[in-house]
Amino acid sequence: MVASVTNRGGSAAAIQHHYDVSNEFYTLWLDSSLTYSSGLWDSPTLDDDLETAQQRKIDWHLNASGATTGKRLLDIGCGWGALMQRHINSDPHNHATGLTLSHNQYLHIRALNIPNIQVCEESWIVHQPTTPYDAIISIGAFEHFAQPGASLEEKVSVYREFFSRCQEWLKPKGKLSLQTIAYGSLNAEDKNVFTQTEIFPDSELPRPGEIFMASDGLFEIKTYRNDRLHYGKTCDLWLKNLRRQKLLIIEQFGEELYLKYEQYLKLAVAGFYFGQILLLRLEMQSLAK
């Protein structure tokens, strides 16, 4: 089943609505690596700082995807490039290609001018690599792939197209490490501001079963983790940073934007803590011979 273009969410305009507020805005409340996804803690008390948890998350994905032993990495939804930089810093012979739909993120990575990092302002839908990748990582982008209101069949179809492309682009037995928010006890019907037009227009979360259905026969799921409390903690730390910078944010970007993000982060903290939404990390190995 091939997804029609109309089934796909996350248009460039919708992504830019969110990520292109301005790089300065995000530097005021994300950690110093500008990582915009859940951190990873290794103790039940989650007492490391945000920087440490973000580095641990990046290293988890580099390991899970096999990028630590391979060279050529594809980062689908590369944000401001922290993961690609870590890959190159660990070995200057490594190579990373990043895809983003955000113009500001694209310009930011280009300006870093790091040899062996290539950034493309394009969707995975149009990506056409010339040589296979050793490893693929996608963190926090999958949430943008399906459209709000899409049926189960439409969602699985888009996700299957994504997994097929990843399989095609990987060397045989290559690995994909995926991180995404997913629906827990929340239904698409009773969405809150978290998935509404205000913050994330044109986005829809997967259900865990949809990921399993869509990747069936293409990838073996070797590890499946639900770290929803880790994302709750991450959003809580972002909220504290945001509140600490309240005056500056209001002065530079206006009260409306401040209140929108404060509300979004408050709802996200509660959503993850109460299990309405989940945070999945999956280590997946291609079944292609």
Residues that bind ligand SAM (CB under 6 A): 10, 15, 19, 35-37, 76-79, 99-102, 105, 123-124, 139-141, 144
User: What tokens were used for 12?
Assistant: 């460039």
Identify which of residues 59 and 220 has a Cβ nearer to ligand SAM in the complex. 59
Identify which of residues 241 and 250 has a Cβ nearer to ligand SAM in the complex. 241
Identify which of residues 140 and 148 has a Cβ nearer to ligand SAM in the complex. 140
Identify which of residues 50 and 141 has a Cβ nearer to ligand SAM in the complex. 141
Identify which of residues 142 and 258 has a Cβ nearer to ligand SAM in the complex. 142
Q: What distance in Å separates the CA atoms of residue 97 and residue 114, rounded to the nearest whole number? A: 12
Cβ atoms within 10 A of the Cβ of 151, count? 10
Least Å distance between CB 54 and ligand SAM? Answer: 8
Least Å distance between CB 12 and ligand SAM? Answer: 8
Identify which of residues 219 and 238 has a Cβ nearer to ligand SAM in the complex. 238
Least Å distance between CB 133 and ligand SAM? Answer: 15
Least Å distance between CB 246 and ligand SAM? Answer: 23
Least Å distance between CB 30 and ligand SAM? Answer: 8
Least Å distance between CB 214 and ligand SAM? Answer: 15
